[in-house]
Structure 1
Amino acid sequence: MNRALSAITINIGKAGINDNVIEEITRQIKAQEIVKLRFAKGISSEKEMYITQIVEKTNSKLIDLRGNVAVIYKKKR
């Protein structure tokens, strides 16, 4: 089974991202290696900026982006 299909999904709403969202993404990526981020349709214009911030702050990699869903990955150490 594809691991991305079973990855936890974190929804990013109109409020965007803040320290709490980054902390939750960091926790999930440490546990799962792969996390899906689903962005609200209303923030699609800011999506690229949010993805860049999330990848930088969590030290992860963007491995897929389709529509409003991004998949990030960080190998467990």
Structure 2
Amino acid sequence: MLSGKQKRFLRAKSHHLKPIFQVGKSGVNENMIEQIVDVLEKRELIKVNILQNCLEDKHVVAEQLSEGTEAEIVQIIGNNIVLYKESEKNKTIILPE
């Protein structure tokens, strides 16, 4: 579980990131979760965009992604979700205490 200070730190780091994945009409699926897990291992912090034609609520999509990838939801802003998961091999982000 991330503290408020850690979330603020990660929000600042994610500000300049472009969304890598898009969730569309079909919603969240296994293939997307597997790809996000791979990218989180490499980058630790990513943005996911929810398209206008997505039928599910953004909070539901965020929960599905978080549970499927075992990542933390840093922020949901507009139609973007920021996810963080500490990398096993490529640790680059050092969180404040």
- Tell me if TM exceeds 0.5: yes
Q: TM-score, normalised by structure 2?
A: 0.69
Distance 1:44 1:15 in 2: 8
Structure 2: runs of 5 or more not aligned: 1-11, 89-97
TM-align CA RMSD: 1.8
Contact 2:27 2:55 in 1 (8 A): no
Query: Shift of residue 7 of structure 1?
Result: 5.8
Matches within 5 A, 1:56-75: 56-75=67-86
Q: TM-score, normalised by structure 1?
A: 0.84
Structure with greater strand percent: 1
SS at match of 1:43: coil
Q: 1:9 maps to which residue?
A: 20
Aligned residues: 76
Q: Which amino acid in the other structure matches residue 33 of structure 2? A: I
SS at match of 2:20: strand
Contact 2:18 2:47 in 1 (8 A): yes
Q: Compare CA radii of gyration and give the structure with the larger one.
A: 2
Structure 1: runs of 5 or more not aligned: none
